[in-house]
Structure 1
């Protein structure tokens, strides 16, 4: 068959009526009437994307925050084994009983961990009278004994954060099961319902609501109704009113000096155009109600109410120790904080403030401004103690205690918090 004189591209395909009808409707009919239907000439223009430019990708990966999740894998195993050892009598566990605690498969991961870190774990016994057991080394046990002191320093911080958590909810109460769901992220002890709540009856009470035990706020304190964002702006000396557009323009990184602005931290590959920056500036200048006001008094479709949702998510993450939370944990607070149904889309839209990573066993949401690369800027006493223990493994700790002490954000959030009057 001679080659046609017009620029067609040969595409091999099966003889099907649907494809022929599709092609006959959009190409020259004479070009399709060939005796051999094993091949058809199709215009190159038809198989292209129509000349449209591909949609710009705005959500890039933050490799530093992805790395944070990778760096947490070994410390989490170390701390898990430490808690298992300390939960047993004489602070030791027989190696043969380890499988009962963690299962057959996970047992071998812990056995490798014990062998890899002899500075933390000591294996003894092995004789006829004493079966092999694992316990903490003398140095690890000494550092572990300092945990009650760190917990004591954490107590006023926990009380303050729990009060703020309840103050943001629509009815000033949260089901206990949901508080327990994020208890590890807040730094709460496992028995906080028995050890912490009864100790502060002027602030908390447990009440039954519709068959569910709920943690209820007893006393409202307007001095606590200040967000971490507002504290940062006050520290930076930002004026209480928006400057005129002529005086201050939004920068290419999305940051703006105003009382209603959020700190932006886009990924390295993101290059916003002028229209994006203009829209972002209007959003940064938009005032919005405090996340500590009752959300039922605002219309969900109001742009100010939508910006308030961002403030609620920002404040929730700020109350956690490591300024991050699993997306499923955030999603659990829909009814208490009247969050939007499409919460994931909200987080993705504001990717300069939040970052979602799929590293690890579950999806995790980070508060970007809380991190400098892979380092958490501000650390609470409990995290400092954990870092000191994990440092025995010989690995480099993610955050330096010296950095924490010198950080203005750290001193504002934690150093002063240990002297709070509760």
Structure 2
């Protein structure tokens, strides 16, 4: 059932472009080429999401400790890549496994896990960011823009929460964010039931907010004083990626098509037309711009696309435009990355919460050796000096002469 295509509010903008656009794309094979820099950017965040989920679970307990055996059944929910005990042992500067003593006894209880002082310090700094009014406003606006991308201006919670981590929503955002913005959001029934026969609830935008209905590309063009109709997507193909001439010619013509904002309704366009594809690419581009690290996993992206009725359009857009989007196969999933947001493997504009997450990553990449923390960096073999190389060559020649 596609419920994301219900009519929007009366003031929702409808694209004026006619439906008769034809498909001119040459169905040429576009190969996937690995981008080591963007792969590294994705790999750097390996296990960060399950680690923060486990951290929040532990700190939600009154004692801020948790029985290790109680975490093991939650492995699928936390998305732990290994057993709970091994996961916590892999990050000794964040988690500490211990056995609390039993009162009035010399014995110790079962293993528990808690956060280290360094991890607690990071969590406290992170909590300060979550509690800032400026940050809450930023979250509310990005969440509102996500709802505005849906034509009905509402989405079920199961779809929103697929982007919860990537958007930087607090784990308790329903309690810590939504009540502070009654003029933005209301909880609603979605009008259908889940597989268990239970009513599905979601989030609805109270009213269309025209001041937010401006995409990141439109903002950029407006700041530069250029015409909106001349919007072109930034393309950055990796080394070794050569598009065939006929594909390059099509891309150039496609770039010159009028830009349709993702906040406009362009479902009336012929689904297989070039104009519809440019609108779809703009939709994915804007969605990735709402994410803190300008990336999200492909499964979540396709889930939203299917819900809104895009069907195969998202898949085609990713395949046809490798200079705009990159799909990485690292960390046990496929991650869609917005190329223009990165310079090599570095995120160009860092959100305050992303800066905090990078601090967690640095702590995760630090290991203990002989009781001392060291960065877990693979040391390159030291190349011998030219003098040492000449000496080795002399020894090899002398051994040949003796033979």
Q: Same fold (TM over 0.5)?
A: yes
Q: Are 1:141 and 2:128 an aligned pair? A: no
Spell out the pairing of 1:181-330 with structure 2 (5 A cutoff): 181-211=162-192, 212-235=200-223, 237=224, 239-240=226-227, 259-330=230-301
Distance 1:343 1:291 in 2: 13
Deviations 1:189-229 (A, max 9, x none): 23323332232121111222323323211122222111112
From the superposition, tell whether residues 289 and 116 of structure 1 become closer, same or farther in structure 2 (CA, over 3 Å): closer
CA 292–56 in structure 1, closer or farther in 2 if over 3 Å, else same: closer
Residues 1:170 and 1:238: Cα distance change in structure 2 (over 3 Å): same
Judge conservation of contact 1:175–1:214 (CA < 8 Å) in 2. yes
| In 2: Cα distance, 1:140 partner to 1:174 partner | 34
User: Bigger shift: 59-68 or 105-114?
Assistant: 105-114
Distance 1:302 1:74 in 2: 40
Q: RMSD in angstroms over aligned alpha carbons?
A: 2.9
**Per-residue Cα deviation, 1:243-265 (whole angstroms, up to 9, x for no partner):** xxxxxxxxxxxxxxxx3200001
User: In terms of mean alpha carbon deviation, does 358-367 or 387-396 score higher?
Assistant: 387-396
Question: What is the match of residue 122 of structure 1?
Answer: 96
Match in the other structure for 1:377: 348
1:106 deviates by 6.2
DSSP 3-state at the match of 1:390: helix
Shift of 1:307: 0.8
Cα separation, partners in 2 of 1:337 and 1:329, compared to 1, 3 Å: same
Structure 1: gaps of 5 or more residues = 1-54, 243-258, 398-422
Contact in 2 for aligned 1:198/1:205 (Cα 8 Å): no
Matched, 1:65 2:52: no
Q: How far does residue 134 in structure 1 lie from its aligned partner after superposition?
A: 2.9
Cα distance between partner residues in 1 of 2:47 and 2:175: 31
Distance 1:90 1:297, change over 3 A: same
Question: Is contact 2:221-2:227 (8 Å) kept?
Answer: no
Once the two structures are superposed, residues 9-53 of structure 1 have per-residue CA deviations (whole angstroms, 9 ceiling, x without a partner) of xxxxxxxxxxxxxxxxxxxxxxxxxxxxxxxxxxxxxxxxxxxxx
CA shift in 2, pair 1:65/1:213, >3 Å: same
Between the aligned partners of 1:321 and 1:348, the Cα distance in structure 2 is 23
Compared with structure 1, are the counterparts of its residues 215 and 161 closer, same or farther at alpha carbon in structure 2 (3 Å cutoff)? same
Q: Check whether the contact 2:95–2:116 (CA below 8 A) recurs between aligned residues.
A: yes
Q: Which has the higher relative contact order, 1 or 2, with Cα contacts under 8 A spaced 6 or more apart?
A: 2
Residue in 1 aligned with 2:369?
Answer: none
**What's the secondary structure of 2:63's corresponding residue?**
helix
Question: Could you tell me which residue of structure 2 aligns to residue 178 of structure 1?
Answer: 159
Structure 1 residue 315, shift from structure 2 partner: 0.6
Matched residue SS, 1:145: helix
Tell me: CA distance 1:78–1:215, structure 2 relative to 1, closer, same or farther (3 Å): closer
Give the match for residue 60 of structure 2: 87
**Does the aligned pair in 1 maintain the 2:277–2:317 contact within 8 Å?**
no
Tell me if the contact between 1:295 and 1:338 (Cα under 8 Å) persists in the aligned partners. Answer: no
- 2:362 maps to what in 1? 391
| Structure 1 match to 2:20 | none
Q: Does 365-374 or 68-77 show the bigger shift?
A: 68-77
In structure 2, what is the equivalent of residue 350 of structure 1?
A: 321
User: Match of 1:40?
Assistant: none
Aligned in 2, Cα 1:115/1:340: closer, same or farther, shift over 3 Å? closer
Tell me if the contact between 1:170 and 1:338 (Cα under 8 Å) persists in the aligned partners. Answer: no
Relative distance call for 1:197 and 1:269 in structure 2 (3 A) is same
Q: Is the counterpart of residue 166 in structure 1 residue 166 in structure 2? A: no
Question: How far off its partner does 1:100 sit?
Answer: 4.2
